[in-house]
């Protein structure tokens, strides 16, 4: 009986010890430039992922584009299984000319790690 309690307690401790990796997303770019403002209605976005863990690689991403004036999400890529992190097209977003948009990206590393970037400070213009 005591063995079962010990085993259950050990499993609980081990499950709490498993934590997500500390992944950060930095250097968000629009058309390969940080803080870039573009007039393209299909901007190409980019980012860099970093982690203190050696060998961490991006396996998926999700991009969310928000209309600044309307204050709402206008496009979400959904989770895309891809290691691509530069010149990622938003052709499906159907952005309008003369509108202000911001965007953010969440990345996955294939394991427990998941990181998320905040909204880009400088908007992309549709």
Instruction: Classify domain 20-125 at the CATH class level.
Output: mainly beta
Separation CA 45–CA 47 (nearest Å): 7
Q: What is the pLDDT along the chain (126 residues), one digit of tens a residue?
A: 554 543 344 433 333 333 445 778 888 888 888 776 666 777 889 999 888 888 888 889 999 988 888 989 999 999 999 999 999 998 888 888 778 888 888 888 877 556 554 444 445 555
Residues near 36 by Cβ (< 8 Å), separated by ≥ 6? 29, 30, 122, 124
Separation CA 117–CA 63 (nearest Å): 10
Domain ranges of the chain: 20-125
């Amino acid at each position: 009986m005591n063995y079962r309690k010990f085993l259950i307690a050990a499993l609980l401790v081990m499950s709490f010890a498993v934590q997500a990796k500390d992944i950060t997303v930095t250097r968000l770019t629009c058309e390969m430039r940080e803080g870039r403002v573009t007039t393209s209605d299909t901007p190409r976005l980019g980012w860099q992922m970093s982690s203190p863990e050696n060998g961490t690689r991006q396996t998926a991403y999700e991009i969310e584009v928000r209309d600044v004036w309307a204050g709402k999400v206008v496009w979400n890529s959904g989770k895309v299984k891809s290691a691509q992190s530069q010149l990622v097209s938003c052709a499906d977003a159907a952005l309008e000319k003369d509108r202000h948009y911001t965007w953010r990206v969440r990345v996955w590393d294939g394991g427990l790690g998941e990181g998320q970037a905040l909204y880009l400070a400088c908007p992309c213009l549709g």
